[in-house]
Amino acid sequence: MNRSSWLWSISALVYAFLYVPLIIVVVYSFNDSRLNAEWVGFTLNWYRVLFNDEQMIRAAVNSLTIAVVSGLVATALGTMAGIAIHRYKPKLLPFMVITPVAMPEILLGVSLLLFFIQVMNLTLGMLSIIIAHITFCIGFVAIVVRARLAGMDESIFEAARDLGATPWQTFKLVTFPLIMPGVIAGALMSFTLSIDDFVITFFTVGVGVSTLPLQIYSMIKIAVTPEVNAVSTLLMLLTLTTIIIASKFAPDTLRGAMK
């Protein structure tokens, strides 16, 4: 066996390791059995159960609301942060933008819990979750927007200024249209990150409010039924669609986000 076929076989195993578990989840969502153990027959029953599960529907509505609101605010703030970091090279702001993204999620979760209860005296609920989600989404938007700006020719902005454009006009007519794909990609990323977040939501959620990941968590902790597989499959589909749209706007988004 030469080197290349050796590499190929290990890599094929790693790809299988990555995909087989998810395929199993999807396949069993159509399985006509309560147990996720063996294939019995095809059914759409678990999707029917899912769409009749009021708690789950309410959690989905909450998740979407939180994702849209925190996505919009984080996009506005993150775009500003991205521009500020690129243009003014501030010292503290890059640190403040990156750290909530880089540190273990649990730390942001518990420090916000402490802050909401002890200092703001806030009743935990939708608002506390939204505030928390904005905090970690800002960083991702800022990274994408900044990457977009870094790839641009500075002389465009100088030209606009030389032609007599005010800073606001330069922004509105030159900068913003140019960074638009980055902004949209950042918004879609915030949306997916918010919809998918479990850890930070877990610490900032109050009594009586639930989101999709929290609902999935309590289901797999208490009683596993293929309804979890069904909701997982739909959630995968939603995230996948968002990511495909995002990658159309900024092909480097995915890799930028991972770095």
Q: Looking only at residues 185 through 214 of this chain, which bind another protein when binding is defined by CB under 8 A?
A: 192, 196, 198-199, 202-203, 212-213
Residues 57-76 that bind another protein (CB under 8 A): 76
Residues 93-122 that bind another protein (CB under 8 A): 93, 96-97, 99-100, 102-108, 110-115, 117-119
Residue closer to another protein by CB (options 76, 174) is: 76
**How many Å separate Cα 212 from the centre of its chain?**
13
Residues 227-246 that bind another protein (CB under 8 A): 228, 232, 235-236, 239-240, 243
Residue 156's CB is within 10 A of a number of other CB atoms, namely 13
Closest separation between CB of residue 97 and another protein, Å? 7
Residue closer to another protein by CB (options 28, 46) is: 28
DSSP alpha helix (H) spans, the chain? 3-28, 45-51, 54-88, 92-102, 105-114, 126-150, 155-162, 167-170, 176-196, 199-204, 212-222, 226-249, 253-258
Residue closer to another protein by CB (options 68, 93) is: 93
Hey, what are 110's tokens? Answer: 């518990």
Among 16, 61, 90, 156, binds another protein (CB under 8 A): 90
Q: Is 81 in the site for another protein (CB under 8 A)?
A: yes
Task: Determine the interface stretch with another protein among 40-48, 50-58, 77-85, 180-188 (rule: CB under 8 A).
Answer: 77-85
> Are residues 112 and 135 in contact, defined by beta-carbon separation less than 8 angstroms?
yes
Q: Is residue 165 classed as helix, strand or coil in its secondary structure?
A: coil
Q: Is 173 in the site for another protein (CB under 8 A)?
A: no
Query: Residue written as tokens 């069904």?
Result: 230
Q: What CA–CA distances, in Å, run from 105 to 99, 109, 174?
A: 10, 6, 37
> Are residues 83 and 145 in contact, defined by beta-carbon separation less than 8 angstroms?
yes
Number of residues forming the site for another protein (CB under 8 A): 86
Residues 133-172 that bind another protein (CB under 8 A): 134-135, 138, 142, 166-167
Residue closer to another protein by CB (options 184, 203) is: 203
Task: Determine the interface stretch with another protein among 48-56, 86-94, 146-154, 178-186 (rule: CB under 8 A).
Answer: 86-94
Distance CA 11, CA 96 (A): 38
> Are residues 129 and 194 in contact, defined by beta-carbon separation less than 8 angstroms?
no
Query: Residue written as tokens 């899912």?
Result: 50
Closest separation between CB of residue 163 and another protein, Å? 16
Among 4, 54, 155, 208, binds another protein (CB under 8 A): 4
Backbone φ and ψ of 151, nearest 5°: -85, 5
Q: Is 91 in the site for another protein (CB under 8 A)?
A: no
Distance CA 74, CA 148 (A): 17
Residues 20-59 that bind another protein (CB under 8 A): 20-22, 24-25, 28, 35-38
Closest separation between CB of residue 232 and another protein, Å? 4
